[in-house]
Amino acid sequence: MARAKQTLPRNLAILVVVVGLGVQIVTTCYKKSDTTPSTKQQPPSTASTATPNQTGTIHLEMGIPTGGDGEPSYLLKRKQYALSYNGTKNVPNWVSYHLNASYFGTVERKQGQFMPDPDLPPQFYKVRHQDYSNSGFDRGHMVRSEERTATREDNDATFYTTNLLPQRHDLNAGPWLRLEEFCQFLAVRKKKELYIICGGIFPKNYQTIGKQNNIAVPSHCFKIIVVLESGQGVRDVNENTTVIAAIMPNVEGIKKEQWRQYQTTVDEIEQQTGYDFLTAVPQKIQEAIERRIATSLVAMAQ
């Protein structure tokens, strides 16, 4: 009896501590979700595909492109996208990224300048915002700012200069933008799962811009969009999968043009860039989807 009386207050004390901790944890969680406006969004990194691929990032779900021009390049993977950076041209060879509705949120476009990429190895020239100033070219996002608006961090990551190509304004604000808007329509309105690869095509004697004249200007920009249903990944790609491909000239005077007139095949992009794309797709399926110009889904584009 005496023992029981003694242990009762101790039990009570433990109970109070446990309940107290519980309240604290609940409060912390509540505060976190309360101050983060994007908690309704799924975290974009693992999104909805079931199995992680061998590259360790959803942004390379269709495989790492192989080939290219053999110039020194660096494979850069970050939470928001993956890219191959060309140390001679000082632009990306290609940028590869996953897109679905979860990446679109309410974060506002980053204010201010583009940032040199801190994740580039030291031997690479770090392109600065000013390198594009008065060049006659826009700072053309590859991963579009609007496509990473779930968190502040995500949007900021599109403003690294490694995510840029020099684009003529009429391309950037014309058919290129309209194809970006069509991707947004497919992702947000049609709930599609998109796997996008884009970049530049360079002639032998390409133009350069920049304070050190070391940033290559592409003659054309390309974009490949693998369109899958919600939750699908590379294992779901088959001979009937829609793959949208486009090559657009990097020129003025095309602002009013529709993107569909620049539709082409992945085969054509592979021939002009020297890359093999969609390398994680079985060879026989690649052959089927890379030679075709997409028609069914694209009919929805205005």
Contacts of 267 (CB under 8 A, 6+ apart): 290, 291
Per annotation, catalytic residue among 59, 98, 129, 141: 141
- Between 263 and 286, name the residue whose CB sits nearer to Mn ion: 286
- Between 124 and 273, name the residue whose CB sits nearer to Mn ion: 273
179 and 259 Cβ atoms separated by less than 8 Å: yes
- Between 127 and 278, name the residue whose CB sits nearer to Mn ion: 278
- Between 150 and 281, name the residue whose CB sits nearer to Mn ion: 281
98 as an active site residue: the answer is no
Binding positions for Mn ion, rule: CB under 5 A = 141, 172, 276-278, 286
**Distance between CA 228 and CA 263 in Å, rounded?**
19
Q: How far is the CB of 287 from Mn ion (least distance, A)?
A: 8
- Between 187 and 278, name the residue whose CB sits nearer to Mn ion: 278
203 and 182 Cβ atoms separated by less than 8 Å: no
Q: How far is the CB of 51 from Mn ion (least distance, A)?
A: 21
- Between 124 and 175, name the residue whose CB sits nearer to Mn ion: 175
Element spanning 178, H or E = helix 175-184
Buried b / exposed e along 269-286 (16+ C-beta atoms within 10 A): bbebbebbbbbbbeeebb
Nearest to 175 by CA among 83, 251, 92: 251
Q: How far is the CB of 290 from Mn ion (least distance, A)?
A: 5
172 and 248 Cβ atoms separated by less than 8 Å: no
Q: How far is the CB of 63 from Mn ion (least distance, A)?
A: 8
Q: How far is the CB of 302 from Mn ion (least distance, A)?
A: 19
Q: How far is the CB of 24 from Mn ion (least distance, A)?
A: 46
Contacts of 138 (CB under 8 A, 6+ apart): 132, 166, 167, 168, 169, 172, 173
**Distance between CA 140 and CA 164 in Å, rounded?**
5
Contacts of 6 (CB under 8 A, 6+ apart): none
86 and 71 Cβ atoms separated by less than 8 Å: yes
Which residues form the catalytic set? 141
